[in-house]
């Protein structure tokens, strides 16, 4: 008798499965971490849960659309998405359309709908550079095409998204075969500019000094990072149990967005947090296998690697900020943090990775 070998599930099936698992776990923890803030602001503890559920539904629809459309379509139409993304970034400054919150102008409001155009532009930039860099790596045009959105993000201001966008662009330039010396030269120019932007902004400077010396102002500027540290420590090995976080009761600002991983760690502990990190490892392993094994054009491979770089950098920046390795950046944790615009675009981008896998 011959034993019948069962082939392992295809990478794109695993990628879809782990994406769905992370999104559903994220939905649970958005509710867990937002009940107090939701009730305080809206008199309804389910407000953020309902909004995030809508984002998840739209995002899964977007994922389905991306799986149905040939991946080459996004390359051929990439110039349209880049120009549309720039227009949306400009629209945030138009009175009556753009919305300013906490000193930042980053949102567009149309009727009852509100979204951040930078989330769309991350994809638009990746698609455009996947097409453009696959043909040539001309450095001065590359600087111009990267500099246009960078200037708009400085005006918003949105330093964290600016740094992410520059990192994505620089990484794609390198992956496409661009000269690494030019990227290092760009860093030599860019780092002083970032330092100037930090020094010129009191709240950014406060974040930096708080990072350097967390004990400097425990009830003021250092309050956020201290409360995150307390949540992480309180979680221990196995956590306090789902729903038993103390820090979500308005101790941690933005508990359901940038700092959601600290609430997760408090409730499910180190072992549970390790499981969450394992899901990300499975996600990136399968995404990388899909793109690496793709027999499609160089532009399609660049599109796939660009998406992986985008999501991977966000995960690294968010988790590094939560555990105190870098200053708090305001970067959400993909698939877990509250935010409809981000979740919709992340699921849509994952749909493109799945489509590349299916085409292979």
Record the tokens describing residue 181, joined without a space.
């010396």
Q: What percent of the chain has pLDDT over 90?
A: 41
Quickly state the pLDDT bin for 345 (edges 50, 70, 90).
very high
For the record, the structure tokens of 31 come out as: 């509710």
Its pTM stands at 0.89
Greatest alpha-carbon pair distance for the chain in Å reads 76
Q: Is 282 helix (H, G, I), strand (E, B) or coil?
A: helix
The answer to whether residue 359 scores a pLDDT higher than 80 is yes
Q: Which two tokens stand for residue 147?
A: 């500099």
**Do 74 and 359 meet the contact criterion of CB atoms below 8 Å apart?**
no
User: pLDDT band at residue 206, thresholds of 50, 70 and 90?
Assistant: low
Pick from 203, 204, 161, 207: nearest CA to 342:
161
User: Which pLDDT value is given to residue 257?
Assistant: 81
**pLDDT-wise least confident of 138-142, 168-172, 199-203, 269-273:** 199-203
What local confidence, expressed as pLDDT, does residue 215 receive? 60
CB 247 within 8 A of CB 255: yes
Which of 107-116, 230-239, 251-260 reaches the highest mean pLDDT? Answer: 107-116
Is the predicted pLDDT of residue 1 greater than 60, yes or no?
A: no
What's the pLDDT tens digit per position in 28-67?
999 888 888 888 877 788 888 999 999 999 999 999 999 9
CB atoms within 10 A of CB 212: 9
CA distance 226 to 112: 36
Q: Is 4's pLDDT higher than 60?
A: no
What is the per-residue burial (b if ≥16 Cβ within 10 Å, else e) of 172-205? Answer: bbebbebeeebbeebeeebeeeeeebbeeeeebe
Per domain, the residue ranges of the chain are 11-359
């Amino acid at each position: 008798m011959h034993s019948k070998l069962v082939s392992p599930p295809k990478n794109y099936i695993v990628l879809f499965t782990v994406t769905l698992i992370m999104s559903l776990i994220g939905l649970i923890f958005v509710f867990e971490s937002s009940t107090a803030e939701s009730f305080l602001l809206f008199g309804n503890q389910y407000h953020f849960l309902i909004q995030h559920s809508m984002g998840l539904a739209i995002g899964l629809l977007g994922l389905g659309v991306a799986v149905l459309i040939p991946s080459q379509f996004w390359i051929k139409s990439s110039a349209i998405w880049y120009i549309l993304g720039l227009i949306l970034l400009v629209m945030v400054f138009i009175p009556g359309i753009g919305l300013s919150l906490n000193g930042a102008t980053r949102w567009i409001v149309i009727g009852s709908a509100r979204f951040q155009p930078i989330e769309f532009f991350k994809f638009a930039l990746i698609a455009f550079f996947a097409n453009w860099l696959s043909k040539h790596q001309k450095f001065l045009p590359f600087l111009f095409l990267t500099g246009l959105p960078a200037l708009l993000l400085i005006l918003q201001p949105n330093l964290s998204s600016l740094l992410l966008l520059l990192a994505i662009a620089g990484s794609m330039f390198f992956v496409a075969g661009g000269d690494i010396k030019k990227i290092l030269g760009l860093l030599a120019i860019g780092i002083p500019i970032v330092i100037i932007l930090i020094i010129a902004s009191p709240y950014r400077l406060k974040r930096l000094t708080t990072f350097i010396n967390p004990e400097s102002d425990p009830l003021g500027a250092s309050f956020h990072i201290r409360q995150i540290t307390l949540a992480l420590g309180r979680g221990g090995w196995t956590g306090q149990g789902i729903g038993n976080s103390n820090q979500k009761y308005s101790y941690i600002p933005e508990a359901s967005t940038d700092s959601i991983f600290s609430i997760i760690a408090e409730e499910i502990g180190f072992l549970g947090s390790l499981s969450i990190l394992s899901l990300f490892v499975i996600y990136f392993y399968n995404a990388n296998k899909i793109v690496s094994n793709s027999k499609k054009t160089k532009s399609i491979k660049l599109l796939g690697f660009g998406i992986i770089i985008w999501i991977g950098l966000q995960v690294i920046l968010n988790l590094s900020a939560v555990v105190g390795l870098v200053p708090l950046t305001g970067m959400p944790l993909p698939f877990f943090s509250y935010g409809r615009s981000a979740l919709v675009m992340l699921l849509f981008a994952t749909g493109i990775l799945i489509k590349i896998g299916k085409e292979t």
